[in-house]
Amino acid sequence: IDLPRELRARGIHNAFHASLLRQHVPNDDRRFPGRQFHQLPGFGEQPREWAVDRIISHVGRGSEAEFEVQWSTGDVSWAPYHDVRHLQALAEYFEALGVPNARQL
């Protein structure tokens, strides 16, 4: 199998040693809800989006900032400003910090 140049550049090989193979264990949605590919934004043909409960913290400044987002599922992840700039949760976060927008972070 000939791999595309982009995969080779990332160090992905077309052959693997058998000791690196593991049996696939599917996700247990009862124990870890919200982790199916169709539930994650950006996956599948019509991805579902989860509601954001709140923004917990941030790192960085201005439009380069990343925000720690708590989802309605209870999961926490980091998202760039570009992905959260339209959220009401971000406006509430700015209000709690006493800043009008990301430029004042």
* Confidence check: pLDDT of 61 > 50: yes
Q: Assign residue 75 the CATH number of its domain.
A: 2.40.50
* Confidence check: pLDDT of 59 > 80: yes
Q: Residue 58 has what pLDDT?
A: 93
Q: Residue 66 has what pLDDT?
A: 93
Q: Residue 20 has what pLDDT?
A: 84
Residue 71 exposed, middle or buried by CB count within 10 Å (0-12, 13-18, 19+): middle
* Confidence check: pLDDT of 47 > 50: no
Domain hosting 99: range is 52-104
* Tens-digit pLDDT profile for residues 27-44: 777 776 666 655 555 544
Decide if 25 is inside a domain: no
Decide if 98 is inside a domain: yes
Confidence of residue 12 (pLDDT cuts 50, 70, 90): confident
Decide if 12 is inside a domain: no
Q: Residue 24 has what pLDDT?
A: 83
How many structural domains is the chain composed of? 1
Q: Cβ(68)–Cβ(58) under 8 Å?
A: yes
Decide if 26 is inside a domain: no
Report the relative pairing of strands 66-71 and 76-80 from DSSP bridges: antiparallel
Decide if 58 is inside a domain: yes
